[in-house]
């Protein structure tokens, strides 16, 4: 259950002159075709030759339809490279592609969603609607279709000789020298999949690929899995005009997972070899990577209970194996994407939370620790780039402030492990995309008073050029709303165990401290998620504050980007510390003179929907109403990897943990009004979660409001659906909480 992006907060620019006339936000405007924040950019990449910065941008008439653009470093000009509408005027997506987009949280987008540079920086590989195009960067108006037929996960090989992709559950390559297409696997059908990531790998392990190229194009390691052991859940996807019956292999907690294998194939000959993953077949294959010299394949194997992660090296020629290291934890071992092999040294960079915080270590190819690359009372978010020539490693972190994200430089000799050099300026949130050699990066920066700006910078942080300055002036889409834009304030509270909790608060328009206001409390609350950040604000938060609500968020224990003592607090008893911490926030609000403690409402989606139910059940005396969207109600209904990681055990091995972590054991305390919302084709948090809750509420004679969306999946995506669901949320809050009252 990775966090769900509820609202698209695209790019705008810094404060400049705002127009004299000002308008408050409307839901129609928020969900209109034109992006409120101006011309946003996504999927930023520096071409391998360093001559271009490419990105995806929504069209002027439809922010959700994306085209491919470039900024030319030599000519300092920006132009559209590929018009998605010219390639495919009307998209028709396969069921498999729709499912992949749901996993990747891109179901609301169309056009070009991703692309790949050739290693020489001359060509781009562009997939769209199941077809695959090769685009010459110098002649982008003449794209060449190289494959079709529901192509997924396309790549250009590291040396540029091949294009690879998965089609009809089989791995395929095209030799770009000869144009010949070769299907490398032939048994992909039914329950057998080659080169794909299985459901839980996509949804919970941040794995959206199932195959991995050797750096010299000599081999591909790929996942082969059989989902036959996974129970079939028969889902009824109810649309406005029809009902489709879907048989989905869904591994609920305690169920068998797929049978996973790791294979190596020669792309030139098709020769196959199988890597032995060990005697225990009930494992997770987390990642696979080749060493810089392509002689070693390294795979990550996680135990079913997720308390052990092994890193194993395989000799590509002989398939002989040797263990490199193991990570263990009494709760769970966190997985990551931060394995990097060095080219100039027989060593690799590895991320570990063995110290209680995520830090980086240099480890030899013999598996022996050489020295830490980072250390101290802070943690690393992720590796951004490695520049071996300069002896530097670039990372993102909240070292200076937990509600910020900054870019830092570490030295590969470990000499500044405890004191990395910060290279981004401006308190707030920086997302950095580095060139392959680590010499330049694209910085997307925002803060509560600075909508996102995009600039090209050298590795020391100095400016090269604006990519999207996007000044907030009278002609800017948000310009006329800026005078009504409300500031976000930040602070901290203490949890019961003394740990620090961060919160944010937006006070209503025309705020008067002598009056009392209702509260709109948004919660997510689940692991891996941080919702209190010093970034450009969420439009719906702004909207609700402008409607007269105090808008409040709090990151409870278990939330992401924190030390293990903070995240582990929810283990084996979901909903306990999360509810305690949110109630600590509500108690703090009740002490504020401008808050009406009898008019606090809660809204959450996914894990946040679960949190809304648990909060109403625990404290209807303090919470006047709640809106729960797509909630998990019984963790035995959710998938293996996520649920068993945090609940611990299975419904059979630890039934008490599942009972206390679910919703049903606590429902007798729920007396406040509830709006329950769910998509009727949700393949992530299955609709069964809501139908079971409906049944339990009816048995208790609990009245509630219900809204279901025909054909909608977990995100209830699309501007029409989004406009409607947020309109319902607003109306429910206003119905039960009313407006401002005199003190």
Annotated catalytic, 641?
A: no
- With the CA atoms of 583, 588, 594 and 596 taken in that order, what torsion angle do they form, in degrees rounded to the nearest 10? 30
Who contacts 740 (Cβ-Cβ below 8 Å, separation ≥6)?
508, 512, 515, 516, 517, 518, 548
Q: Which two tokens stand for residue 668?
A: 């007798």
Active site (annotated) includes residue 606 = yes
Residue 569's alpha-carbon distances to 351, 558, 560, 575, 699, in angstroms, are 22, 6, 12, 10, 33
**C-beta of residue 250 within 8 angstroms of C-beta of residue 639:** yes
Q: Which of 249, 336, 666, 714 is catalytic?
A: 714
48 CB neighbour count, 10 Å cutoff: 17
Distance, CA of 216 to CA of 99 (rounded, Å): 32
- 220, with CB counted inside 10 A (0-12, 13-18, 19+), is buried
Please give the structure tokens belonging to residue 50: 């360093």
Q: Pairing between strand 359-364 and 347-352?
A: antiparallel
Give the closest residue to 183 by CA, choosing from 267, 94, 275, 126. Answer: 267
593 belongs to the catalytic site: no
User: CA torsion angle for 63, 65, 66, 67 (degrees, to 10)?
Assistant: -110
Distance separating alpha carbons of residues 498 and 494, to the nearest angstrom: 5
Distance from C-alpha of 538 to C-alpha of 118, rounded to nearest angstrom: 36
Closest to 457 in 3D by CA, of 436, 442, 467: 442
- DSSP per residue, 15-84: B----SS-----HHHHTSSS-TT-S--EEEEE-TTSSEEEEEEEETTEEEEEEEEEEETTTTEEEEEE-H
N-term to C-term CA, the chain: 42
113 secondary structure, DSSP code: -
Query: What are the two backbone dihedrals, phi and then psi, of residue 99, each rounded to the nearest 5 degrees?
Result: -65, -40
Parallel, antiparallel, or unpaired: how do β-strands 705-709 and 674-679 relate? parallel
Confirm if 197 and 171 have CB atoms less than 8 A apart.
Answer: no
Active-site residue, from 217, 381, 443, 682: 682
DSSP code, position 486: P
Instruction: Give the up-direction half-sphere exposure of residue 169: CA atoms within 13 A in the CB hemisphere.
Output: 14
Q: How many alpha carbons lie under 13 Å from residue 501 in its C-beta half-sphere?
A: 26
Q: What angle do CA 596, 612, 586 make, to 5 degrees?
A: 30
Which residue in 606, 628, 661, 717 is the catalytic one?
Answer: 606
> What gap in Å lies between CA 613 and CA 423, rounded to an integer?
43
Which H or E element spans position 385?
strand 380-387
Query: Is the CB of residue 388 less than 8 Å from the CB of residue 342?
Result: yes
| Residue 103 three-state SS | helix
Q: Are 488 and 537 in contact (CB under 8 A)?
A: yes
**Catalytic positions:** 606, 682, 714
């Amino acid at each position: 259950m990775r966090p769900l992006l509820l609202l698209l907060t695209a790019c705008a620019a810094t404060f400049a002159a705002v127009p004299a006339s000002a308008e408050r936000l409307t839901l129609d405007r928020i969900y209109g075709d034109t992006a409120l924040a101006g011309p946003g950019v996504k999927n930023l990449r520096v071409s391998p030759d360093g001559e271009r910065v490419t990105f995806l941008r929504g069209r002027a008439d439809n922010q959700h339809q994306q085209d491919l653009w470039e900024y030319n470093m030599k000519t300092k000009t920006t132009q559209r490279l590929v018009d998605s509408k010219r390639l495919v005027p009307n998209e028709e997506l396969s069921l498999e592609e729709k499912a992949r987009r749901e996993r990747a949280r891109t179901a609301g987008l169309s056009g070009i969603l991703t692309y790949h540079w050739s290693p020489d920086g001359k060509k781009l590989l562009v997939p769209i609607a199941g077809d695959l195009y090769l685009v010459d960067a110098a002649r982008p108006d003449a794209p060449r279709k190289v494959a079709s037929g529901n192509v997924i996960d396309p790549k250009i090989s590291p040396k540029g000789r091949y294009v690879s992709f998965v089609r009809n559950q089989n791995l395929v390559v095209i030799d770009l020298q000869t144009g010949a297409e070769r299907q490398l696997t032939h048994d992909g059908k039914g329950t057998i999949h080659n080169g794909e990531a299985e459901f839980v790998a996509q949804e919970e392990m941040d794995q959206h690929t199932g195959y991995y190229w050797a750096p010299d194009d000599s081999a591909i390691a790929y996942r082969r899995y059989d989902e036959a052991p996974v129970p079939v859940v028969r889902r009824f996807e109810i649309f406005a005009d029809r009902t489709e019956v879907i048989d989905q292999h869904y591994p609920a907690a305690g169920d068998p997972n797929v049978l996973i294998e790791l294979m190596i194939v020669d792309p030139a000959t098709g020769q196959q070899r199988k890597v032995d993953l060990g005697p225990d077949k009930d494992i997770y294959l987390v990642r696979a990577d080749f060493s810089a010299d392509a002689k070693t394949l390294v795979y990550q194997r996680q135990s079913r209970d997720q308390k052990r992660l092994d890193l194993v090296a395989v000799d590509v020629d002989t398939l002989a194996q040797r263990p490199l290291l193991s990570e263990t934890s009494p709760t769970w071992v966190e997985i990551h994407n931060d394995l990097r092999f060095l080219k100039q040294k027989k060593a690799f960079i590895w991320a570990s939370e063995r110290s209680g915080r995520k830090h980086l270590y240099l480890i030899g190819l013999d598996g022996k620790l050489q020295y830490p690359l980072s250390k101290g009372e802070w943690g690393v978010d992720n590796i951004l780039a490695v520049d071996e020539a300069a002896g530097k490693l670039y990372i993102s972190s909240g070292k200076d402030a937990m509600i910020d994200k900054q870019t830092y430089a570490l030295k590969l000799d470990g000499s500044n492990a405890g004191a990395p050099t910060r290279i981004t300026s401006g308190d707030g949130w920086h997302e950095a995309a580095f060139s392959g050699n680590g010499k330049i990066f694209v910085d997307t920066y925002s803060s509560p008073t600075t909508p996102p700006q995009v600039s090209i910078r050298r590795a020391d942080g100095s400016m090269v050029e604006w990519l999207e300055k996007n000044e907030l002036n009278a002609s800017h889409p948000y310009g006329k709303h800026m005078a009504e834009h409300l500031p976000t304030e930040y602070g901290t509270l203490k949890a019961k165990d003394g740990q620090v909790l961060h919160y944010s608060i937006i006070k209503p328009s025309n705020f008067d401290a002598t009056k009392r206001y209702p509260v709109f409390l948004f919660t997510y609350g689940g692991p891996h998620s941080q919702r209190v950040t010093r970034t450009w604000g969420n439009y719906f938060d702004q909207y609700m504050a402008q409607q007269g609500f105090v808008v409040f968020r709090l990151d409870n224990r278990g939330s992401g980007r924190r030390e293990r003592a903070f995240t582990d607090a929810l283990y084996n008893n979901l909903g306990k510390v999360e509810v305690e911490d949110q109630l600590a926030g509500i108690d703090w609000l009740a002490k504020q003179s401008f808050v009406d403690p009898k008019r606090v409402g809660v809204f959450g989606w996914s894990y946040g929907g679960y949190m809304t139910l648990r909060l109403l059940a625990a404290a209807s005396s303090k919470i006047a109403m709640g809106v729960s969207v797509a909630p998990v109600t019984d963790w035995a209904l959710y998938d293996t990897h996520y649920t068993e990681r945090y609940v611990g055990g299975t419904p059979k091995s630890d039934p008490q943990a599942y009972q206390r972590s679910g919703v049903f054991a606590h429902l007798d305390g729920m007396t406040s009004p509830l709006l329950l919302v769910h998509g009727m084709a949700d393949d992530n948090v299955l609709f069964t979660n809501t139908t079971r809750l409906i049944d339990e509420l009816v048995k208790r004679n609990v009245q509630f409001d219900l809204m279901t969306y025909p054909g909608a999946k977990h995100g209830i995506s699309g501007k029409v659906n989004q406009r409607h669901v947020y309109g319902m949320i607003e109306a429910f809050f206003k119905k039960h909480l009313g407006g401002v009252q005199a003190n």
